[in-house]
Structure 1
């Protein structure tokens, strides 16, 4: 079942892997100790837990250095900091350059919400080798995620059914079934994770980051936020403007939108990415195998989804590729231009009656590994979003908005409109209509928007700059495809970001890279 914010997840690593254990929970009473004085015990990293996605322990860095992991104690409830604590899982790679050139720690959040930074940072570690010359590279599992008191909802078998169901109901019976499934999922979250649900808001994670800054020994927070990580960074800047060091926001969430507006914006963004994919496919020297023109490509995809609605095809045994799973798989492939070839192969295969590749893509988006085990990506994503977002929508709200969503995207409109009811009957009230990121007095923050970004549309970057306030946000535009800019390896973008983070050189506002 799609949730619009889950479509911002940092799932690219899992996709690459698919295609080519015990959780830390609530601890004891803090005993009144000063958590800022705690000393971290860094050790070799274990293999990721199921909640983190499973797999092998991270491989050594290219220079032979090992990744190190530690746990940081944080208050369960920041409004009662003397009470119970939880463990926040951290990972780091020590700076590779001379000690006298080290700036401090550079903390990464790769998005979601719900993505494990402990597993994602090593997967992309080589991409940040330049930054590592002057920073310890650090990431973490935010509270509720992975090994950081991870929340749980339904089990693997229930989640298989959850993601197979029809998430774009066409009649009263299907609507009832869909709504009942959402209620069952949300009730399972409350039953299994009741103690954590009130304490996974983005404001809580931001306070964890400030504690992390102090425990790591930094006067200011140096930060690289991607996707939802830009929202977390903006909230941190609002709460602690005087503690912001050098910060970069890439693939920027629009902080001015409520959840309905965000879903509609994503419908437009994924439609744009699909249009770009279709045009790219037919522009190649070889014939596009999934259509003779861009419109033909999109028409054939629409027909495939219509056919799957009534008659699924074999996927990964024993599961079938349903309309919902196929739509999720297509969305996942649109995250990166590097995955467009997988989308073409998946569509070719589906037209021949097999849904294996599209199902692999769908599984990646939903946090399912090849052993049939789910990480807690979905549980954490829903829990964080529902704790953050105040609106609660009904089926009547969705039906009233469907024409607008369909106009924004014939392919993704229904899919994203119906996801708006994900927080209906949630056990914890949402905090606000949208996050407050105003940060007067903050150091400059480099805000990077990508014109072809499907999950966090380009317009969000400018609105983030405006919301941060005068003299804080510095906008950089990348004219490219995919979710994010720095990891596109565009030299102009990387030069601007590296120059700011390593040397403190702020690029001119309005700089454009292509």
Structure 2
């Protein structure tokens, strides 16, 4: 369950002035990439699609190339168009093409009027030379394996499954694995900026997309026009510390769900938040001993799949009624069908048993982005620490990253603070009860960035901008259009 969301010449007013400053320089040897002109073609419902080439290895620009898939919803007012708003929905492993196709028209009215809303599949993801390691049945087995081992045999089995995952990636994608990390994806973003005709980058990144955006700002600070980093990931944390803190975030979200259940009335799980959480804990313990049946297929709903289903529902507050229904069915009838449906949605498993490449790509990026513990025993210590501070989610979240211990590709660099000195103001949005990217990460990233500005959403759910809060929408849209940030420390409710 590892962390399982460009400007043409401006013709407008004051915001155009900030976007038509001297063009960014092209890195040596990369002119052929920056000078590309995407061949946009209609791809249904008002969208246009294209492909831009980037080098697989930036140290060998004349070598193998990777096609980066793009999609855009053109600006509605060509006379007032500022340029393109590049976006990334997170993951790592999330398809930016799918994100824009699904969510572009949910962006603010003023943004859609003045920007092309652009999405891209990062290298290794979806339609951009996807990393594919596992078959559907292999991923079914991986996700169903007990990720909260109670004895050495269960721990060793988890280790064997994780090692097999890594070995399959080596067998099927060995040549790609060293180059799919965030460092190279950020370089690709600057090529996209140039190929799209933008002198500086305007960007919205959610979840892992904040990490990608921060890496971009670190490498190309002078090319930043306006960056919104929504649901921040803290770049200075180690791989296991990130997972432990994420697990604590899910615990915070579970308590918010429990509180909401009690206050809404008719909560079937208890009369106090503590009682609800105790009931969920007891349910998970019983599921560990006796997995649930489901009516979708022959799979058993193990404790790991049940936790994954709960976690998926905690991402979005609108899913909380669904979670109440899923838990009621599971606890009262022994029916894990709805929990399994939520778990399948989390990892993009289709009804026919196939998966998108989200899981393979997620692991491939995470495993090269940061160093990992050297062996199973050392990794187990981090999982034990996670269980102490996040009893329900800690083991599952941390053990989910175990394949990285056996990963065949080397880590790009050690964790470190990102300052992006010299960059224009960068807005970091944090949601106080965010389950997947804890609020403290937004506080930390905004503090690290030399030009960081913290915008807080006092709410629930993962990321803030597309939740429809008028205060967040107004502050974000005004900044992206004008490049003038809101006051540091602004809070929206």
TM-score normalised by L of structure 2 = 0.92
Contact 2:107/2:466 (8 A) holds in 1: no
The total of aligned residue pairs comes to: 467
The aligned counterpart of 2:235 is 255
Q: Which secondary structure does the structure 2 equivalent of 1:169 belong to? A: coil
> CA RMSD for the aligned pairs?
1.5
Contact 1:393/1:420 (8 A) holds in 2: no
Contact 1:268/1:409 (8 A) holds in 2: yes
The aligned counterpart of 2:463 is 484
Is structure 2 residue 374 aligned with structure 1 residue 376?
A: no
Q: 2:52 aligns with which of 65, 72, 91?
A: 72
In structure 2, the CA distance between the partners of 1:32 and 1:332, relative to structure 1 (3 Å rule), is closer
The aligned counterpart of 1:208 is 188
The aligned counterpart of 1:353 is 334
Q: For residues 237-288 of structure 1, what are the alpha-carbon distances to aligned partners after superposition, in whole Å with 9 as ceiling and x for unaligned? A: 000000001111100111221111111111211000000000000001x311
Shift of 1:368: 0.5
The aligned counterpart of 2:76 is 96
Q: 2:387 aligns with which of 387, 406, 411?
A: 406
Q: Which secondary structure does the structure 1 equivalent of 2:232 belong to? A: coil
Is structure 2 residue 269 aligned with structure 1 residue 290?
A: yes
The aligned counterpart of 1:21 is none
Is structure 2 residue 429 aligned with structure 1 residue 448?
A: yes
Shift of 1:33: 7.4
Contact 2:363/2:401 (8 A) holds in 1: no
Q: For residues 182-211 of structure 1, what are the alpha-carbon distances to aligned partners after superposition, in whole Å with 9 as ceiling and x for unaligned? A: 011110011111111011010100111000
Provide the C-alpha distance between the structure 2 equivalents of 1:402 and 1:391, rounded to a whole number of angstroms: 13
Q: For residues 349-390 of structure 1, what are the alpha-carbon distances to aligned partners after superposition, in whole Å with 9 as ceiling and x for unaligned? A: 101111111101111111202222100000000000111111
Q: How does 1:320-399 map to 2 (within 5 A)?
A: 320-351=300-331, 352-399=333-380
Contact 1:333/1:339 (8 A) holds in 2: yes
The aligned counterpart of 2:141 is 161
Shift of 1:430: 1.1
Q: For residues 127-168 of structure 1, what are the alpha-carbon distances to aligned partners after superposition, in whole Å with 9 as ceiling and x for unaligned? A: 114211110000100000011000011111111111111111
Q: Which secondary structure does the structure 2 equivalent of 1:88 belong to? A: strand
Is structure 2 residue 16 aligned with structure 1 residue 36?
A: no
Shift of 1:403: 4.6
Shift of 1:95: 0.1
Contact 1:245/1:443 (8 A) holds in 2: yes
Q: Which secondary structure does the structure 2 equivalent of 1:474 belong to? A: strand
Contact 1:213/1:219 (8 A) holds in 2: yes
The aligned counterpart of 2:87 is 108
The aligned counterpart of 1:14 is none
Is structure 2 residue 306 aligned with structure 1 residue 308?
A: no
Q: Which secondary structure does the structure 2 equivalent of 1:314 belong to? A: coil
Q: Which secondary structure does the structure 1 equivalent of 2:241 belong to? A: helix
Contact 2:133/2:172 (8 A) holds in 1: yes
Unaligned runs of 5+ in 1: 11-30, 46-57, 61-65
Is structure 2 residue 214 aligned with structure 1 residue 234?
A: yes
Contact 2:165/2:403 (8 A) holds in 1: no
Q: For residues 53-72 of structure 1, what are the alpha-carbon distances to aligned partners after superposition, in whole Å with 9 as ceiling and x for unaligned? A: xxxxx6x2xxxxx1111111
Provide the C-alpha distance between the structure 2 equivalents of 1:206 and 1:375, rounded to a whole number of angstroms: 23
The aligned counterpart of 2:13 is none
Provide the C-alpha distance between the structure 1 equivalents of 2:194 and 2:113, rounded to a whole number of angstroms: 22
288-297 vs 379-388, which deviates more?
288-297
The aligned counterpart of 2:115 is 135
Provide the C-alpha distance between the structure 1 equivalents of 2:30 and 2:318, rounded to a whole number of angstroms: 50
TM-score normalised by L of structure 1 = 0.88
Shift of 1:401: 3.6
The aligned counterpart of 1:27 is none
341-350 vs 313-322, which deviates more?
313-322
The aligned counterpart of 2:477 is 498
Provide the C-alpha distance between the structure 1 equivalents of 2:360 and 2:416, rounded to a whole number of angstroms: 21
Q: 1:122 aligns with which of 101, 114, 118?
A: 101
Shift of 1:436: 5.1
Contact 1:251/1:456 (8 A) holds in 2: yes
Shift of 1:329: 0.5
